[in-house]
């Protein structure tokens, strides 16, 4: 397997699909589903330990997490706890997608805010609307979790957000 991502620091969607096959469209339309972007064998298990329905399998701590998308209930606990901030959730809704991601910067956006979407290379690729914020205090992993509604074609591209600067 090509491991070019280890020199670049980001995965392409094609590489991601090879490592963690993506959920079916049917599943994506049902409810949010957790998708890890965790391509490297590192000793780390919180996602598998926290999952309330045992949807994440990891025979030894150095194995990659494998999500059983049918079992996953979309509760976001893995997104909240993942120390590598490498878990996301995706859901398709009509012609939009909702991407749930960890967020540990300031300012923390509010529900309804329009934010700038960034891809895995940090490039601005469009705008999205914040539909849900789980604040740090309520997150089991001490990390804010933000759900953003994005154009469906950006569902597998948008992986970070930038809060728009308020001009004074």
Partner 1 sequence: MRIKEHPVIDFSKKKGRKVTIYFEGKPIEAYEGEPIAEALHAAGIRVLNYTPRGRPRGLFCAIGKCSSCLMKVNGVPNVRTCITLVEDGMRVERQRGLEPLPQDYHPPKWKDATKTEGDVIIIGGGPAGMMAAISAADHGAEVILIDEQPMLGGQLVKQTHKFFGKRQQFAGVRGTKIAEILKEEIEKRRIKVFSRTSAVGLFQDGDKKMVSAVRNNKELLEFYGKAVVVATGALEKMIPFENNDLPGVYGAGAIQTLMNTYGIMPGKRVLIVGAGNVGVILAYQLIQAGVKVVAIIEAMPKIGGYFVHAAKVRRLGVPILTRHTILRAEGRDKVERAIVAKIDENWKPIPGTEKVYNVDIVALAVGLRPSIELLHQVGAQTTYVRELGGYVVRHDDMMQTTVKDIFVAGDSSGIEEATTAMLEGKIAGLAAALRVGKADLRAVNEVKKAHEELMEFRSGPFGARILEGLEKVMIK
Counting Cβ atoms within 10 Å, is residue 32 exposed (0-12), middle (13-18) or buried (19+)?
Answer: buried
Adjacent-strand bridge partners of 132: 147
| Cα–Cα distance for residue pair 102/71, rounded to 1 Å | 22
Q: Does 122 bind partner 1 (CB under 8 A)?
A: yes
Asked if 158 and 140 count as a contact pair (C-beta separation under 8 A), the reply is: no
* Residue ranges in 144-163 that form contacts with partner 1 under rule CB under 8 A: 159-160
Q: Does 52 bind partner 1 (CB under 8 A)?
A: no
DSSP state of 65: P
* Residue ranges in 55-84 that form contacts with partner 1 under rule CB under 8 A: 60-62, 81-84
Q: Return the number of the residue (33 or 101) whose C-beta is nearest partner 1.
A: 101
| Cα–Cα distance for residue pair 54/148, rounded to 1 Å | 26
Q: Does 142 bind partner 1 (CB under 8 A)?
A: yes
Q: Return the number of the residue (28 or 37) whose C-beta is nearest partner 1.
A: 37
Q: Which of 120, 128, 148, 150 binds partner 1 (CB under 8 A)?
A: 120
Q: How many residues bind partner 1 (CB under 8 A)?
A: 44
User: How far does the chain reach from its first CA to its final CA, in angstroms?
Assistant: 51
Q: Which of 73, 108, 132, 152 binds partner 1 (CB under 8 A)?
A: 108
- What DSSP string describes 1-12? ---THHHHSS--
Q: Does 123 bind partner 1 (CB under 8 A)?
A: yes
Which residues contact partner 1 by CB under 8 A?
3, 5-11, 37-46, 49-50, 60-62, 81-86, 104-106, 108, 118-123, 141-143, 159-160
């Amino acid at each position: 397997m090509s491991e070019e991502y280890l020199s670049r620091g980001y995965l392409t969607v094609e590489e991601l699909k090879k490592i963690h096959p993506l959920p079916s469209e049917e599943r994506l339309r049902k409810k949010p589903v957790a998708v890890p972007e965790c391509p490297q064998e590192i000793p780390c298990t919180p996602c598998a330990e926290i999952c309330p329905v045992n949807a994440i399998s990891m025979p030894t701590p150095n194995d990659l997490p494998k999500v059983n998308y049918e079992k996953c209930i979309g509760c976001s606990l893995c997104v909240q706890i993942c120390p590598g901030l490498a878990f996301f959730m995706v859901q398709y809704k009509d012609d939009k997608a909702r991407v749930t991601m960890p967020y540990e910067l300031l300012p923390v956006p509010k529900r309804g805010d329009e934010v700038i979407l960034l891809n895995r290379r940090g490039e601005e690729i469009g705008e999205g609307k914040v539909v849900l914020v789980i604040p740090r205090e309520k997150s089991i992993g001490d990390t804010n979790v933000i759900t953003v509604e994005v154009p469906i074609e950006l569902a597998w591209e948008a992986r970070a957000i930038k809060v728009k600067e308020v001009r004074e």
